[in-house]
Chains A and B, each alone.
Chain A
Amino acid sequence: SQQGEEDPQALSIQEGENATMNCSYKTSINNLQWYRQNSGRGLVHLILIRSNEREKHSGRLRVTLDTSKKSSSLLITASRAADTASYFCATGQGGDYKLSFGAGTTVTVRA
């Protein structure tokens, strides 16, 4: 069964606005990763946050992690049309090399 669940399933925003999506998971993790998927393409890694980290930034991306609530959020600031894509969270557990993916949030940025 899938570990992560993203919310909302879909999001439509105007260019320049911020986009926030959330990920909840069920069991303890050692890291959480966010990936982007453009239509018809494979997933591209965006950012990784370790279980002992609370916040991480990369360019216009900000990720938070709350292990007590088993949840994470991804914020994209000043969105652009090129940010239109599906975004997935993925969790790693224990000493495993596997990831468990959520079902994703589809983001549409309107010009």
Chain B
Amino acid sequence: NAGVTQTPKFQVLKTGQSMTLQCAQDMNHNSMYWYRQDPGMGLRLIYYSASEGTTDKGEVPNGYNVSRLNKREFSLRLESAAPSQTSVYFCASRSSPGTSIYQPQHFGDGTRLSIL
């Protein structure tokens, strides 16, 4: 059972380059999330998708776009990378049966992105 899979695991970009981070889950979850983790700041929500066909901004959406390709896949795109986007990016998913809010999130192992 793979859970949440993120690709690539590591990437180095130059300022101005574009990049798409991929995320796929095999747990038939409805909701998916993208976070960034910076030292001393915990996780900050970039975008999320409560269900297939919907996406919403989180706390720090500027400079990013997302696509909920289907129920399994949720990608994050950096159109013009900046050094401030150097971070570790985590994708997560969550089951949302009915209207229950008492569900944990399941995380991938992250993409470590450096922008020079």
How would residues 17 to 45 of chain A score, 1 for a CB under 8 Å from any chain B CB and 0 otherwise?
00000000000001101010000111111
Q: Does B53 contact A (CB under 8 A)?
A: no
Give every chain A residue within 8 A of B104 (Cβ-Cβ): 33, 45, 48
Give every chain A residue within 8 A of B2 (Cβ-Cβ): none
Identify which of B11-19, B68-76, B107-115 touches chain A.
Answer: B107-115
Give every chain B residue within 8 A of A2 (Cβ-Cβ): 41-42, 44
Give every chain A residue within 8 A of B101 (Cβ-Cβ): 30-31, 92, 95-97
Number of residues in A with C-beta < 8 Å to the partner?
A: 28
What total of A-B pairs shows CB separation below 8 Å? 63
B45-80 interface with A by 8 A CB criterion? 45, 48, 50, 58-59
- Chain B's interface size range is 20 to 34
Q: 18 interchain pairs (CB within 8 A)?
A: A2-B42, A4-B42, A40-B110, A42-B92, A42-B110, A43-B107, A45-B105, A45-B106, A48-B102, A48-B104, A50-B102, A88-B43, A95-B99, A96-B101, A97-B31, A97-B48, A97-B96, A101-B35
Give every chain B residue within 8 A of A92 (Cβ-Cβ): 101
Give every chain B residue within 8 A of A45 (Cβ-Cβ): 104-106
Q: Given A42-B92, A42-B110, A103-B42, output 8 extra A-B contacts at Cβ < 8 Å.
A: A31-B102, A42-B107, A42-B108, A45-B104, A45-B105, A45-B106, A48-B104, A98-B45
